[in-house]
Amino acid sequence: MTACTALRDSTYDYLSRMASAAGQAAGSGSPLLRLDCSKQGIKGLTDNGRIRLQEPWPDIVWKDAPEKPFTLYIEAEKLAKVVKPLSKKSTLRLQISSEYLQIRGSNSRSKLQAIGIPPVFLDDRVYEPENETLVRFPGEAFAEQLQRIRCAVAKNDTFPILTGVYLEIGKSQYRLTATDGKRLAHLQAPLLEEIRGPKLQVVIPAVNLSLIQTAARLHPDAEWSVTPQKLICRTPAFYLESTLLDGQYLAYRRVLPETAEHHLQVSAAEWLAALQQVAPLTDTESPVLRLETKNDCLLIQSRPSATGIQEEAVSELPVTWLSGEGDCLTLMNRDFLLDAAKILTGETWQIRLNGPKEAMEITDGFTRYIVMAMRQ
């Protein structure tokens, strides 16, 4: 048995990542965390068949370092339950052997029994891609963009290819697109430097996005390896490997409006306030909002429902006309309009309308958010 200390905050983040990466086994994966212990520290490895994460346990200080290296396996499900009760802003005391891992905080103690002979062995293999494209994303910005764009990803697998984010890698820029068939979010941003390798188009599974975002934040200068099958973030001490979705993504460019009959500008804060005013009186089963331009206002109106809501609410949103001033009426999904605040940034947004049956575009000048019109 050996003993060491670790900082609570970094341990909490580390174990959360590892538990998330292990998750529920898929294919040949295993819901296990492998811990390799030596005088140099503790290195964790997990692979659930969709994503593989290898990372050293940060801020480990040995009090009684192991004389010989050893390995233990912990069940990810049990590990996840240990993470929450860890006391904040404190130093943790760890006792570890090939048979168990015990974590002590100021007001908690958890002991995890190791798996003697794991059903699936987590080996040290590293994927060696062929015809890879080497890419340097703008770490923190890339993570933040993925967080915003993922809001439009399909939540069910009726069309599996839409359950991911479409990544297009060009010579010196990249594009991110997500759609569930009823709305679409799209943005374009510059890379830190020109790519080395061919241009690529891949689809990142939504289930892997959180760990990919974390990797981008933790290692903002990392060089990523991209192939049609894998997305890999690799540094001397960190390795994240995500599988990618197979299939052809839809031709989303046909949905992006090229022109607009009505082009206006609104305050983002006033947009959200106006929607929140009428949202409570919108039918939950059919959350339809009526949008109508009148002079220098956009009227946002709820509709009476067949399920008991008979009141109507109307909110007037001041607008600045940029072109095509005039009356326009359309019906939109309340929840999709509210999601604009999750996808877009900035203090002012531009709105493009093309008639009652056409899609509406909302943009902050960087990200384009397209919402399909609802039927009368």
Read off the pLDDT of each residue in 156-168 and give the average, rounded to a whole number. 95
CATH code, 257-371: 3.10.150.10
What number does CATH give the domain 2-113? 3.10.150.10
Helix 209-218 and helix 8-22, axial crossing angle in degrees, nearest 10: 140
Per-residue pLDDT reduced to its tens digit, 71-102: 999 887 788 777 777 766 678 889 999 899 99
Same CATH fold, 134-253 and 2-113?
yes
Question: pTM for the whole thing?
Answer: 0.91
Q: How does DSSP classify residue 161?
A: G
200 compared with 286, residue with greater pLDDT: 200
Task: Give the pair of three-digit tokens for residue 181.
Answer: 């068939």
Per-residue confidence band for 24, with pLDDT thresholds at 50, 70 and 90 = low
CATH 3.10.150.10 for the 134-253 domain, yes or no: yes
pLDDT digits (tens, 9 = 90+) for 112-123: 898 876 656 677
**C-alpha torsion 67→70→75→76, nearest 10:** 80
Other CB atoms within 10 Å distance of the CB of residue 107? 9
Domain boundaries, the chain: 2-113, 134-253, 257-371
| CB neighbours of residue 60 within 10 Å | 21
Residue 310 pLDDT greater than 60, yes or no: no
- 129 or 7: whose pLDDT is higher? 7
Q: Is residue 339 within 8 Å of 303, Cβ to Cβ? A: no
User: According to the model, what pLDDT value does residue 121 have?
Assistant: 62
Q: 263-297 pLDDT, tens per residue? A: 999 999 999 999 999 988 887 777 899 999 998 99
For the stretch 233-266, pLDDT in tens is: 999 999 999 999 999 999 999 989 888 999 999 9
- Per the document, the length of the chain is 376
**What 8-state DSSP symbol labels residue 286?**
S
